[in-house]
A = this chain, B = another copy of it.
């Protein structure tokens, strides 16, 4: 009880104004009925919290003014547990779709937000998720313009699933496509691998380290836009190695072009504690899911400048060139290990860490 009170207090402090009207304790099936209780839930502060002129019309859909090349993306989030070190499912759902749009070279603008809630979810938890959504939207500069709330019976869901879909305006200098990748392109990673996955796993497995491993979930759009401003079409491909990890994304990319990829294990940045956690659990960090991380394929001639620029950004402090595109071994990814051995990298074969995002 004390714990709930303190979480509620924290929530109220974060929120300042508007405050939610927390006059019911748990979400019930009626809150997904589309009737009075759905209205009551939304009017308890959801609309106030996410308020913007487009959402406020409260129609079946949102009206937007769009022009030119637009990116559109969708993602459903089912992370378990919904609260984890460094974040919760709310900001993950915003950042995930914001980043998918950024990987298209787009400036994210509008999000839809759709909840599938398991009956019995504490309203306090729902509000913590919502507040995280709000702050993540503000940070990324996007607006929730339309949404949906559904409730399933106890045992037919798991606390809360969130789908976000997003719309963004493609940057005028962006031309992102695997088909632009050329021999000699450098492969740059923006930061340390496996952090998000190990933050989730350390909670699930009850691992304890000197300091807690925090998820790196964040929005990458401002970073990407600034790189596009400067390097434009020299950025050939952007991709975020979420589920399946760095290995799967590189293998998928290699398969979609008629070129090969060489990567060097010694250059792949990883936090010491994350590396220990991976070792302890017998996981290869190259297959572990990441969140606030991206991989760029950039033209050889701008690679060093791109790297310097990225390292100036808070999201790129640990950025490194980890590999090169080659004409050798087309459609294959070859990893040179720390001791100089070589091995073929394949996709994640089964399921390593379910419900990681």
Q: Measuring CB to CB, which residues of chain A are less than 8 angstroms from any residue of chain B? A: 28-30, 32-39, 57-76, 78, 80, 100-101, 103-104, 106, 110, 112-116, 145-148, 150-153, 155-158, 161, 163, 165-168, 170, 176-178, 239-240, 242-244, 248, 252, 256, 287, 289, 346-352, 354-355
What 3 A-B pairs are tightest by C-beta distance, nearest first? A34-B243, A35-B348, A61-B73
Interface residue from B35, B114, B163, B242 paired with A350 (Cβ < 8 Å): B35
Cross-chain contact A39 with B152 (CB below 8 angstroms): no
DSSP class of A's interface residues: helix, strand, loop or mixed? Answer: mixed
B73:A177 contact, CB within 8 angstroms: no
Q: List B contacts of A240 (CB < 8 A).
A: 60
- Most B-side CB within 10 Å, residue of A78, A145, A158, A240: A78
Q: Is the CB of B62 within 8 A of A73?
A: yes
Indicate which residue in B161, B176, B287, B355 contacts A59 across the interface (CB closer than 8 Å). Answer: B176
Which residues on the B side are within 8 Å of A167 (C-beta)?
72, 167
Cβ of A65: which chain B residues have Cβ within 8 Å of it? 68-70
**Given A70-B63, A116-B116, A167-B167, also A350-B252 (CB < 8 A):** no
B146 adjacent to A35 (CB under 8 Å): no
Complex CA distance for A103 and B350, rounded to whole angstroms: 43
Known: A35-B347, A35-B349, A351-B29. A74 touches B287 (CB 8 A): no
Minimum CB–CB distance for A337 against chain B, Å: 21
Q: How far is the CA of A258 from the CA of B212 in the complex (A)?
A: 55
Q: Which of B62, B165, B256 contacts A71 (CB 8 A)?
A: B62
Contact of A104 with B145 in the complex, beta carbons under 8 Å: no
- Nearest to A178 among chain B residues (CB) is B59
| A248 partner residues in chain B, CB cutoff 8 A | 34-36
Residues from chain B with Cβ under 8 Å of A112 in the complex: 72-74, 165
Q: Within 8 Å CB of A148, what residues of B?
A: 74-76
Chain B minimum-CB-distance residue to A244: B34
Minimum CB–CB distance from A71 to chain B (whole Å) comes to 5
B residues near A115, Cβ cutoff 8 Å: 76
